[in-house]
Each structure stands twice: as C-alpha cells, then as structure tokens.
Amino acid sequence: MITGKNYIGNRLSGNGTKTYRTFNPLLNMENENEFVEASTEEINEAVFLASDAYIAYNQKSGKEKAAFLNTIADEILATGDALIQMYCSESGLPEGRAKGERGRTVGQLRAFAALVEEGSWVEATIDTAIPDRAPIPKPDMRKMMVPLGPVVVFGASNFPLAFSTAGGDTAAALAAGCPVIVKSHPMHAGTGEMVASAIIKAAEKTGMPNGVFSNLNSSGIEVGVQLVEHPQVKAVGFTGSIKGGRALFDLAARRDEPIPVFAEMGSINPVVMLPEALKNRSGELAKTYAGSITLAAGQFCTNPGLLLGIEGQGLTNFIKALSEEIVKIEPSCMLHPNIIGAYEKNKQTAIDQSGLVVAADYGTEVAVNYARQAVVTVEGSTFLENTRLHQEVFGPFSMVVKCKDAAELQQIISNLEGQLTGTIISDNDEISAYPMVIAALQNRVGRIIFNGVPTGVEVCPSMQHGGPYPASTDSRFTAVGTQSIKRWVRPFSYQSWPDDLLPNELKNSNPLGILRSVNNEQTKAAI
Amino acid sequence: MITGKNYIGNRLSGNGTKTYRTFNPLLNMENENEFVEASTEEINEAVFLASDAYIAYNQKSGKEKAAFLNTIADEILATGDALIQMYCSESGLPEGRAKGERGRTVGQLRAFAALVEEGSWVEATIDTAIPDRAPIPKPDMRKMMVPLGPVVVFGASNFPLAFSTAGGDTAAALAAGCPVIVKSHPMHAGTGEMVASAIIKAAEKTGMPNGVFSNLNSSGIEVGVQLVEHPQVKAVGFTGSIKGGRALFDLAARRDEPIPVFAEMGSINPVVMLPEALKNRSGELAKTYAGSITLAAGQFCTNPGLLLGIEGQGLTNFIKALSEEIVKIEPSCMLHPNIIGAYEKNKQTAIDQSGLVVAADYGTEVAVNYARQAVVTVEGSTFLENTRLHQEVFGPFSMVVKCKDAAELQQIISNLEGQLTGTIISDNDEISAYPMVIAALQNRVGRIIFNGVPTGVEVCPSMQHGGPYPASTDSRFTAVGTQSIKRWVRPFSYQSWPDDLLPNELKNSNPLGILRSVNNEQTKAAI
C-alpha cells in the first residue's frame, strides 16, 4: 500500500505541493502512484527529530541496535512479492536481480547487526594510569568510536535496494549509532516507501526513538541541498555520478561547519591485458569481458569501461573476438529514459572522439529503453591527449586502448583519474615483467584484481570499495563491507573517568567481553 | 650552522628573492640569520621529487622506515645545545620547555618507528577464497593500509619541535610511507632548518630516496597556497588558527581533485565546575586553574578558556580566589610580537563584550612581549546571545560564565562550537545528577576529562586529539598518538592476487609475524 508520502520519523506526511511519479522503462510509461516531495517544514522537522533522537539512540546497546537492524531485515522480507514487483516496475531490472539485491540488502543489515552485537568494532583502547610516573603522573586514558550525529543518505539509481533506503550507507550509519534521513531516489520512490515503512515498523517494534529514521521524497535537487546545508546534519552518504557527488561535496565544504561527504562516484575500472594472456586466450577473454561489460546493462560502478593492451596480434584478435561476442549478448532494459538518454549521448561523444568504431551497435532493432552495447578502440597517443575519452560512459560500453608499448601503457595508467578498481590479465607470470605498470595502477585504484573481472563486489571485511578521487570523495574509507561503519564515527577519549560512568565498552570489568587494546595488548580480559 | 636555504630533497637551495629573519621576543630584536623564501621553481621541484620518491619509499619495509625514523631522532639529539639555544632564541620559551619538547619529539619519532617496525598497524585483513560457494565462488580478498602520497606539513607556531619540522604530523606521514614537504613556520625557521638537516642526514644514512623530505622557508601565505594547490600533493597537515586552517581546507576542497586536510585548530576547552566541587574546594581549584590557564603563556591548544559554573556562593568564592591566584603567577614571554599583539587585541574585545572584569591585568609593569594574564566573568544569558564571546583568545586568558541553573549550563554547552576537550569538576558523585549536561558536552568535544585540567596531552594510543569542527577539520582522526598515522593512509584491496606478488603483510606465510584478521579471526598464524 503506497501512500506517496514522506516518513517524518514515524509519521506519514505529505504537505508539499510538488508531486511526481516513477517510470516503468519496460512498459515505457509512468507508474500509477503519485509521490509528494518533502516541504521545507517537513525537512526541518525530520532533521530536528533526528537530532533529538541522536542522544537517545546513542544510549542503545549494541544488542538493541542489532535487534533493530535484524528486524528491519525481517520486515523487508515480510513485504514479499509486492516489493519485488515494485522494484521491477520502477527499474526495468529483472526479478532475479531484484531478489538477489534484496538478499544482499538483508545480508548487509544482518552483517552490521552481528558487528554491533559482538561489539569489538568500537576499537576500545585503554591505557591505564601510572600515578608515580616521573616527571608527571600518567592519567588513565580510554578511547572508543562514537557516532557523528544525524546522517543523510542519498538513494542510488542503480541499486534501488542495496544502496538506497535500507542499503549499505543506512545500515552502516544506523549500526554506528547515527539517525538516518534518506533522500529517496526519484526513480524508485515506491520501492523506497515500502522499505522505509519496513524500517519504521522495525523501529517501533524494537523501541527505537522517533526520528531515528526518516524518508523524504524528492524529484529534483532542492531537498538534497537543504538537507546537506542543515546545521544539524553531521555527515552525508551518496552513490551516483561525479557531478552529483561533487556538488554535494562542495555544498558540505562551504558550510560554516564543514561535514564529511562520502560519495562513491564514477569509475571506468581499467583492465590491463598483458600480451601473453591476449596471445593465449583472446577468445575466452573476449567472451568473459563481453559478459562483464553488459552485466545489468552496464549499470554497475565497477563496469570495465577501459581495456588496455599493447599492440600486436593478440590484441587484434581480442578486439575482433570482443566485437563478435558483444553483439551476441541480448540487449537489456536500462533504468530510466534519462539514463538511456545520457548513455546514448555519451556513447556517441566517445565514438566521435575515438574515431574507429569496432562494434558500435547491436545490429537489429531493439525495444525502447533497451541499451545498444558498444565497444570502441583508440590509439594510446590519442587517449593520452584527449582526456574527454577518460570520462565514464555509464552503460554497456567499453573502450579498448591500443598502447604502442609498455611505457605508453604505464603513462596512460599514471594519467588516469582515481578509480574504484584496476584489473590485470596475465599468463605464465608475465606480470613480473611489469612492476612499474602494476605500481602505477595501484596508485590509481582502491582494489586490484588478478585474472578476473571488476564486476562483482564481495561484501566482506577485506573489501575496499572506494578509491582516489573521483572514484570517491574520501579514499580513506570504504562504501562496502562492515568497515564502512568507520565513515560515520569518530574516536572519543575519556581521561580519568570514573569506572561506573564509563560506557560498558570501556569499563574495567569488560562486561561486553569485547576485544580491546589494553596497554598495547589485544585482550578480552578484564582489568 | 644555519644557511637560510631550503632543503629541496637532499639539496640546499636558496634561489628566491624574498628574505626574512626570525625574532627573539625575549630580547625584542630580530635574530641574525637570514632565510630565503622558496621560489615557485623550488616548490615545484620539491613536489616533483616527493612524487617520484613516493614509489621508491613505498617499497621500503617497516623495518627500514623504522631505522629512518630512529635515525632522525638520533640526529636531532646530536644537534645538542645548539638546537636548544636556537629554539629559545626564536620562541622566547624557556630552556626546560625546549628540552621537554625535544624529548617529546624524539619520543614521537621512536613511537612511530616501533609501530611500523612491528607492522600490525596496516590492519591486514584477509578473507580466503571459497571456490565452491553457490551461486558464485567467493574470491580471495586481502586488504591493508597504503600511503596516500606526498603530504604537506605546516609547522605550528606554538610547538617549534613537537608539531613542526619533525613533529607529530611529519613522523606519522613518514611512518605511513608518505614523503613529506614541510612548510617551515616563519617564526622559527632556524629551528626548522636544524631539524630538517637532521632529517636529511638520517635519510642519507639509511638510504631513503631523495625527495622523501623537503623543507621550504616562507614568510607569508604564498608557499603554503602553492603547495596545497599542487596536483601531486595528496594530503595536508596543519596546526594553528581557525582562520589559517579553514583557508587551507577551502583551497584543498576547491581543487579539481580535492584532498584531505587535517587541521587541528582553535579550542576554548570548556570546563564545567559542578556546585559541590566549587563549594568544597574553590581555593584549590582556583590555584590549579590559574596554573593551567597561564601554562606556557596560555599558548596551548588545550588551554582552558571557558569555565562554566552555576551561580552560588561556591562560584563566587571561586571567582574571587581565581582573581587572586592568577595575579600571583609570574607573567611569561609570548612567542612573537604578532602573537602578543593579537592576544592583547582579542583580550580587550572579550573584556569589552563581557562587561565585568575580575582580574584584567597583572598588576605591575611587565617586560615587552610578556603577556598580561586575565580572567573575565559574564552572565550565562549574555554568553548565549553573544557568540563573539565564544571565540578563542589565544594566550593566558579565561572566561568564567555564571549560569543561572543546570538548564542554562546545558544550553550553553549545546551551543558551543566543536572543542578539543571538555572537563568536568565534580565532588561526591554529584556528576550523576547531570546526565544531560555530560551528554551535551560529549557531543561537542573529542576528549572529556574528569577532575583534571585539559592542558597536558598524553601521547598514547587511547589519546584523541581532535574534535568536532572547528577543533579540527575532520573529527574522524586524531592529531596526537600513533593512531594519527590513519590520516595519511587508505585501505587497498587485492583480489585473487598471486601470493608471491602480495606485499609481505598479506602473504599466506605471514613472514612479518603481524596480527591479522583472517576470516574474521585475529591471528598471527600463517594461512
């Protein structure tokens, strides 16, 4: 049951005057439900409630927060097929993807629940007093992570579940102890409302303070701007375009009190194909990469948009094979007419600038809103000169760069902007001959992959999803995996604080039994 | 032997046209040596060398970096009395302080050496592959911290050694694997050159790449601006005023590629004196705080500039006692005529705005460049209305705010800007009656102290030195203690990477014997 309203804390509210509908790209028509954009008053109320809830939510134990997160997961699953249908109608993505993404979303929530229930994530660090130290006594010092305050999360167009309303940013922020205000993505406002409703139910069931979560509808940039500029908002999470992420970063940096913006933005995910590998298995690589390039209509931030090889028969064979493989793959529906519009425009620009088109279009007529995948090639020297060719073409597109030698390959990598991932395709230990190419690639990316594809982001503690700008606005953090909780916390020290007033994490008796660093030793023991 | 030149990597260079001298505030005259400001070419060369050195320095083992850091410490000690004399002549600070700060500087370098020699600081995290996982295989993922790239460090006026040339920021960045370019503080360029010379000697002795360290003289803002704007600079460390830190933050945020600026800036370090404590020991507290307020002429970022109490006999007694104690303390020399000039001006503004002066001036005539300590009082309601009273007066100054009740006290705390520290003075468990005051204070600070003084910053893992803006530009990090290394690193993931090509920290055999998280378990065991 979709109301089209905002959740201002636990209360549904639709006082605004601006309305909009979502779009079904498969049917090429608007969906039925009408959504009311949040008004300035509603925005302010949501932030006020969040700021108020922050103190109370901060007092909740890890166990209580875990119950909240697990109940959100339960409530999302309880929405059943209705959510899956809504997801598909608002994204054009297939049911299998919807279910997979729901599974990932629920998995993320439960992973964060487990993290905060166990409790060691706060990095409790204790240095006990040395009262007789000369020349001055050493005080008792204890430190742990504490939440930053209300966090604004922007829903992502390409992950209506896993990086939107109850996605990775929200799960991490709630786990950290930060109330969350979601700026719902206009393309999937219905999915957003259903998930928001699940979160609110969970908050009420588990006794969380009103305001710990709000969901605000918006069709343009105004709601987001007001949220990021609000003095009581303390951090921002965003997944989307470089233009959008940078605009939010700039807004946040210009505030009287600048706040951190963690934006995960564009990436062309360079893939270096070394000569032996190309010689030995150009056909197999072409098949694998045709699949990776077109996965989910190329709408992944880890899509391999740049394939780098050194000129030779291997590369020629690979380009030929890729041009054959890419057209064998069924075209698929993109998320929204705006997205396919941008894709066609950016693809054409890249084709115009790169000159030679290898496989510009899927040959036959395709349905409306379905993407025509494309691969282009360009000389290394042209790519080096024309930085417009370095820009992401969001969709099922990739560019093969023909480098004249290893030196040019290294130079091209060194001149790339920051990337989420870099991949090396190598046979028979040929990689050992390219240490400077590897070093250059490592310097430009957040994750490096050996003989694989960049698509597929494992959710685990050792995943780094984020890289040098503009892959993300702060490469010191990850957007995926439980370590992403660190974006929303800060260290806090207690000096000579009475034991009974310390949080449980830092008490002498270690009542939570967490792993702590005590006088430089990792231990679960009491003091 | 002072040359007055810049260190551009290992080479002394003084091609610029602008020269300046440092000032001896005790003698109220310029010092003898002339310093040549770095030219644009020298700045660019230093950054180029640093960028080049980054790759080579990155290959150095923790043990090699530790040898470098320990040798810097040795070389600093080897400068002997000459350094101490230079320090005193450029700061007006006493010899005891100079030696203490040298000890702290050397201690910091050795602490970072120990950290990187041991090696576990890189947070090695490993999730091994599960090839038969359904529906898709789980890849082998391994993550560790890697250095950001060349770091620019701005020397601090108030810590010529511990937060300048080879101070905390430099030690942390070099330990992390980042080459460092120091923008020398103009007030102590001679101290800076001597320490830079020690660093260069250590770099040469331990075989570090040329460019791992440079030291640039500057008398104005131009050198700093050019450094922060240089595309090859990847992060900035700063300790100083809000105005200066914010200017650098804004410059860095406006770059095509924004970079992190960790600026540790102003703080008035609120101290909450609860009624029982004031009733029981107003005299003792007055004595303790008179000492803390005037320590090092009030030139510490943790100086207690704001004392908050609830109106009553206890507070009245305390104010009377403080006004008596503060004038008993000998006035001391400030760092520079500019600093005492700003102090006198800001103090007068505060006196004008707060109305009642309790102990405006040290009674007798004081020597030139010596600070006249002062304490003023103001009503809570006035303080709430006039936010100019919230601004730091850098020097031996403090403001006592007379709150009418606990609610006003809490409101005042909630309206403060971010602070490095907050202190609670409490007797007989009276603190238990003020949970919301404590919560409000925790929300505004990075470190909270019970029955102590904020001055004195212990260098240990559990120290948080940094707080919500404007105490620092990024409260998610600390400027003091070995954890400050995290400002200069980013997580980096290897996916399915061949074991022999992995860094030692992530190899199966764990050749370094470091503590790692392997499949969610903390262990030093091999895989």
Residue B497 near chain A (CB below 8 Å):
yes
B446:A493 CB<8 A = yes
A228 and A275 assigned to the same domain = no
Q: Give A18 to chain B, closest Cα distance, Å.
A: 33
Element (H, E) at B523: strand B521-523
- Nearest residue of chain B to residue A149 (CA atoms): B443
Model pLDDT, residue B330:
86
Using an 8 Å CB-CB cutoff, list chain B residues near A458. Answer: 127, 138-139, 141, 495
* B342 and B373 together in one domain: yes
Please say whether the beta carbons of B306 and B401 come within 8 A.
yes
- Kind plus residue range of the DSSP H or E element containing A401: strand A397-403
**Does residue A21 belong to the interface with chain B, where contact is any CB pair within 8 Å?**
no
Of A126, A146, A442, the CB nearest to B462: A126
B73 domain-assigned:
yes
Sheet holding B445-450, edge to edge: A521-523, A516-518, A125-127, A141-147, A489-495, B445-450, B419-425, B270-273, B306-310, B397-403, B374-379, B357-359
Q: Residues of A with CB below 8 A from B501's CB?
A: 431-432, 438, 450
Residue with structure tokens 């050992």?
A432
One domain for residues A379 and A416: yes
Q: Give the residue on B whose Cα is nearest the Cα of A143.
A: B462
Q: Spell out where B268-373 has E strands.
A: 270-273, 306-310, 357-359
Write out residues 54-83 of B within 8 Å (CB-CB) of A: 55, 58
Which of A456, A476, A492 faces B260 most closely, judged by CB atoms? A476
Number of Cα atoms under 13 Å in the Cβ half of residue B197: 18
Q: Give the CA count within 13 Å in the CB-facing half-sphere of A479.
A: 32
Q: Tokens 């699953």 identify what position?
A: A77
A to B CB pairs, distance under 8 Å: 198
Q: Taking CB atoms and an 8 Å limit, are A501 and B432 in contact across chains?
A: yes
Closest approach of B210 to chain A, Cα-based (Å): 19
**Domain-embedded: residue A149:** yes
Q: Is residue B138 part of a domain?
A: no
pLDDT exceeding 90 applies to what percent of chain B?
A: 92
Q: Token digits for B467?
A: 């707080």
- Which residues, in sequence order, are bridge partners of residue B483? none
Contact (CB<8Å) B498/A431:
yes
Phi, psi (deg, nearest 5) at residue B366: -120, 160
Q: How far apart are CA B154 and CA B236, in angstroms?
A: 8
**CB–CB of A451 and B496 under 8 A?**
yes
- For residue A184, what is the domain's CATH number? 3.40.605.10
* Cα–Cα distance, A100 to A481 (Å, whole number): 17
Active site residues of B: 264, 301
Q: What is the pLDDT at residue A495?
A: 98
How far B290 CA sits from the closest chain A CA (Å)? 18
**Is B475's Cβ below 8 Å from some Cβ in A?**
yes
For B59, the closest chain A residue by CA position comes to: A439
Q: Residue A172 in 3-state DSSP?
A: helix
Residue indicated by tokens 């600081």: B121
A17 touches chain B (CB under 8 A): no
- Report residue B362's pLDDT band, with 50, 70 and 90 as the boundaries: low
Q: Helix, strand, or coil here: A437?
A: helix
CB B14 within 8 A of CB B3: yes
CB A418 within 8 A of CB A471: yes
Please say if the pLDDT value at position B358 is more than 80: no
- pTM score over 0.80: yes
Residue B252 falls within a domain, yes or no?
yes
User: What is residue B470's predicted lDDT score, i.e. its pLDDT?
Assistant: 97
Beta-carbon-side half-sphere exposure of residue A96 (alpha carbons within 13 Å) = 2
Which of A54, A446, A493 is facing B463, going by the closest CB pair?
A493
Q: Please name which of B293, B305, B372, B292 lies closest in space to residue B332, comparing C-alpha atoms.
A: B372
The answer to whether the CB of B494 falls within 8 A of the CB of B506 is yes
Encoding tokens for residue B44? 């660019």
Residues of A in contact with B494 (CB under 8 A): 447-448, 450
Residue A226 lies in a domain: yes
φ, ψ of residue B29 in degrees (nearest 5): -150, 160
What pLDDT digit, counting tens, does each position of B303-326 carry? 999 999 999 999 999 999 999 998
Interchain contact B250–A (C-beta under 8 A) = yes
Give the DSSP letter string of A261-320.
EEEE-----EEEE-HHHHHHHHHHHHHHHHHHHHGGGG-STT---EEEEESSHHHHHHHH
**Residue B194: enclosing H or E segment and its boundaries?**
helix B189-205
Query: Does residue A250 belong to the interface with chain B, where contact is any CB pair within 8 Å?
Result: yes
A222, A224, A166: which is closest to A194 by C-alpha? Answer: A166
> CB–CB of A493 and B461 under 8 A?
no
Q: Where does residue A372 rank: exposed (0-12), middle (13-18), buried (19+ CB within 10 A)?
A: buried
Contact flag A496-B449 (C-beta cutoff 8 Å): yes
Spatial separation of the C-alpha atoms in residues A367 and A514, rounded to whole Å:
56
Exposed / middle / buried, residue B207 (Cβ in 10 Å: 0-12, 13-18, 19+): exposed
Residue of B274, B462, B522 to mutate when probing chain A, most A C-beta within 10 A: B462
What tokens appear for A115 in the block? 């993290």
* pLDDT tens for each residue of B155-180: 999 999 999 999 999 999 999 999 99
CA atoms of A500 and A503, how far apart (whole Å): 8
All residues of chain A having their beta carbon less than 8 Å from the beta carbon of residue B277 are: none
ipTM (interface predicted TM) = 0.96
* pLDDT tier at B356, thresholds 50, 70, 90: low
Cross-chain Cβ contact A450/B476 below 8 Å? no
Amino acid code (one letter) for A405: D
End-to-end Cα distance, chain A: 54
Helix crossing, A40-58 with A222-229: angle to 10°?
Answer: 40
Based on the fold, state whether residues A434 and A305 are members of the same structural domain: yes
Q: Do A452 and B496 touch (CB under 8 A)?
A: yes
Please indicate if any CB of chain A lies within 8 Å of the CB of B183: no
**Which residues of A belong to the active site?**
264, 301
List the Cα angle A434/A436/A438 in 5-degree steps.
Answer: 70
Q: Which of A495, A501, A502 to mutate to test the interface with B (most CBs of B within 10 A)?
A: A495
Same-domain status, A332 and A365: yes
Place of tokens 């005051």: B437
Helix B313-328 vs helix B275-294: angle between axes, to the nearest 10 degrees?
20
Closest CA to B479 of A76, A385, A370, A493: A493
**Are A65 and A193 members of one domain?**
yes
Among B210, B258, B216, residue whose Cα is nearest residue B236: B258
Query: What CATH number corresponds to the domain at position A425?
Result: 3.40.309.10
Q: Which two tokens stand for residue B212?
A: 């791992």
Q: CB–CB of B462 and A501 under 8 A?
A: no
Contact B174/A at CB under 8 A: no
CB–CB of A108/A162 below 8 Å? Answer: yes
Instruction: Pick the closest to residue A356 from A378, A382, A388 (CA basis).
Output: A378
Contact A233, A261 (CB under 8 A): no
Mean pLDDT in order along chain A per 10 residues (527 residues): 96 97 96 97 98 95 98 98 98 96 97 97 97 93 98 96 97 98 98 98 98 97 97 97 96 98 95 98 97 93 96 96 90 92 92 72 73 92 93 94 96 96 96 94 97 93 96 96 96 97 97 96 95
Q: Looking at the partner chain, which of B127, B141, B478 has a beta carbon nearest the beta carbon of A491?
A: B478
Dihedral over Cα of A83, A89, A93, A94: its sign: positive
- For B478, which residue in chain A has the nearest alpha carbon? A491
Best probe of the A interface among B101, B142, B495, by most A CBs < 10 A, is: B495
A440 and A481 assigned to the same domain? no
Residues A346 and B496: their CA atoms lie apart, in Å, by: 33
Contact B463/A at CB under 8 A: yes
Render pLDDT for B375-396 as a digit per residue (tens, 0 to 9).
999 999 999 999 999 999 999 9
Sequence letter at residue B181: I
Contact yes or no for A127 and B515 at CB 8 A = no
Q: Are strands A270-273 and A261-264 parallel, antiparallel or unpaired?
A: unpaired
A4 lies within 8 A of chain B by CB = no
Please name which of B244, B214, B200 lies closest in space to residue B50, comparing C-alpha atoms.
B214
Contact B443 A149 (CB under 8 A): yes
What is the rounded CA–CA span in Å between residue A305 and residue A392? 7
Query: Is the domain of A329 the same as that of A207?
Result: no
Instruction: Give the tokens for residue A408.
Output: 């040019």
What the block records as the tokens of B76 is 């600093």
Compute φ and ψ for A118, nearest 5 degrees. -65, -50
User: What is the Cα Rg of chain A in Å?
Assistant: 25
> How much is the pLDDT for B363?
54
Q: Is B324 exposed, middle or buried (0-12, 13-18, 19+ CB in 10 A)?
A: middle
Among A362-371, B407-416, B509-518, whose mean pLDDT is lowest? Answer: A362-371
For A200-221, the DSSP string reads HHHHHHTTPPTTSEEEE--SSS
Q: Which of A450, A468, A500 is the last residue of a domain?
A: A450
Residues B14 and B36: their CA atoms lie apart, in Å, by 6
- Which of A253, A469, A491 is facing B464, going by the closest CB pair? A491
For residues A116 and A232, membership in a common domain is answered with yes
- Contact status of B469 with chain A (Cβ, < 8 Å): yes
> CB of B312 within 8 Å of any CB in chain A?
no
Range of the domain at B284: 270-450
Task: With beta carbons under 8 A apart, name residues in chain A contacting B483.
Answer: 125, 491
Q: Residues 394..453 of B with a Cβ closer than 8 Å to A: which?
A: 417-418, 431-432, 436, 438-439, 442-443, 446-452
Whether the CB of B257 is below 8 Å from some CB of chain A: the reply is: yes
DSSP string, B474-515: -TTS-SSSGGGGGGGEEEEEEES--GGGS-GGGSTT-TT---
Contact call for B146 and A442, based on CB within 8 A: yes
Residues 6+ apart with CB under 8 A from A190: A2, A22, A31, A33, A35, A86, A89, A90
Residue B167 lies in a domain: yes
Chain B contact present for A260, CB below 8 A = yes
Nearest to B462 among A142, A146, A438 (CB): A142
A408 in Cβ contact with A434 (< 8 Å): no
B323-337 pLDDT per residue, tens: 999 888 888 899 999
Pairing mode, if any, of strands A397-403 and A374-379? parallel
Q: How far apart are CA B261 and CA B75, in angstroms?
A: 29
| ω into A135 cis (within 30 of 0) | yes
Please report the DSSP string for A72-123 in residue order.
Answer: HHHHHHHTHHHHHHHHHHHH---HHHHHHHHHHHHHHHHHHHHHHHH-GGG-
- Do B234 and B297 fall within a single domain? no
- The answer to whether position B141 is within a domain reads no
Distance (Å, whole) CA A159 – CA A167: 8
Cβ of A121 under 8 Å from any chain B Cβ?
no
Same domain, B288 and B244: no
B313 Cβ under 8 Å from any chain A Cβ: no
B521 CB within 8 Å of a chain A CB: no
User: Could you tell me if residue B85 is inside a domain?
Assistant: yes
Specify whether A120 is located in the same domain as A167. Answer: yes
When divided into structural domains, chain A yields a total of: 2
